[in-house]
A = this chain, B = another copy of it.
């Protein structure tokens, strides 16, 4: 059996209260007594039971993070950053993956709340009034990342829309005339939160019209995008650009184009989004949009912990982080 404070107290011939004072550096204890107790603790290999402490303190010094999965490179980087910062601030981390499943996400949240985490970082699939009420029913502080929920919730992310507007601008300035935009299904199961994807698309469309492009782009938003590409004929003179809302799609497209013998960017331009770290090994160099995943992780933790410890978040809701276009050779 584990050694408890009571055991220690008995062993040292003092009371549990005194042991607690020694162990937790609380004042009102003779130096010698304290020394004795600490020594005994080491000797008997005493370990505090944090579940008991949590019960009385009402705090667990634990944060929870809810993500889709870790297949996306950026999620892993984000999680890494979050763990680092959390530990730095004295918190440990529960992780829960939703696999983009709405019910699953609720279960994850429920579990974290029941486990009394002090705060939650949420990359949500759900959205809507009902879901927000559900979230409000927990009294746990929550900060959302990437997927915006509503103004009621703290949020850390980037200016998705503006980034894609700029991307469109950039592409048009390079002389492209026709546009294909590839992104994930925009109405996943009819209720999933696809804020980032929606914003990016809107931004792209805005960018086109701002530049006087009247012909609407071909929007491909299903998982068989490669199939659909097969039906298209690319003509160098048309100056077509394929814009993907994530690098992984762009890489798939690049592979497809290579197979077809189509030269990038000579015959068709290609642009990604994310700047995942493996791009450095791929040729031609993909032009893409980079955003600071790690900063987002850091910021989210800092703000959340500030809320926990001082009652209010550190971030301003409207504040978003910078992105930048990474110029490669693909467009």
Could you list which residues of chain A lie within 8 angstroms of chain B, going by C-beta atoms?
2, 45, 47-52, 54-55, 60, 62, 69-71, 73, 75-77, 79-80, 83-84, 87, 92-97, 99, 110-111, 113-116, 137-139, 251, 254-255, 258, 276, 278, 280-283
Apart from A70-B79, A83-B97, A84-B99: 14 A-B pairs, beta carbons within 8 A: A2-B139, A45-B137, A47-B114, A48-B114, A51-B51, A51-B115, A70-B76, A70-B80, A76-B76, A80-B97, A87-B97, A94-B94, A94-B95, A95-B95
A254 surroundings in chain B (CB, below 8 A):
281
Residue from A50, A84, A258, A281 with most neighbouring chain B CB atoms (10 Å): A281
Q: Which residue of B lies closest to A60 (CB)?
A: B51
Number of copies: 2
**Cα of A75 to Cα of B77 in the assembled complex, Å:** 11
**Cα of A84 to Cα of B258 in the assembled complex, Å:** 36
Tell which of B95, B114, B282 touches A281, judged by Cβ atoms closer than 8 Å.
B282
Q: Which residue of B lies closest to A276 (CB)?
A: B278
**Cα of A55 to Cα of B71 in the assembled complex, Å:** 35
- Listed by A's residue number, 22 A-B pairs whose Cβ atoms lie within 8 Å are A47-B110, A49-B114, A50-B111, A50-B116, A51-B55, A51-B115, A51-B116, A69-B80, A71-B76, A73-B73, A73-B76, A75-B76, A84-B99, A92-B111, A92-B115, A93-B94, A93-B96, A94-B94, A94-B95, A255-B281, A276-B278, A282-B282
A36 to chain B, nearest CB (A): 21
**Cα of A95 to Cα of B67 in the assembled complex, Å:** 14
A281 surroundings in chain B (CB, below 8 A):
251, 254-255, 278, 281-282
A49 surroundings in chain B (CB, below 8 A):
55, 114, 116
Q: Which residue of B lies closest to A72 (CB)?
A: B76
A51 surroundings in chain B (CB, below 8 A):
51, 54-55, 60, 115-116
Q: Which residue of B lies closest to A52 (CB)?
A: B55
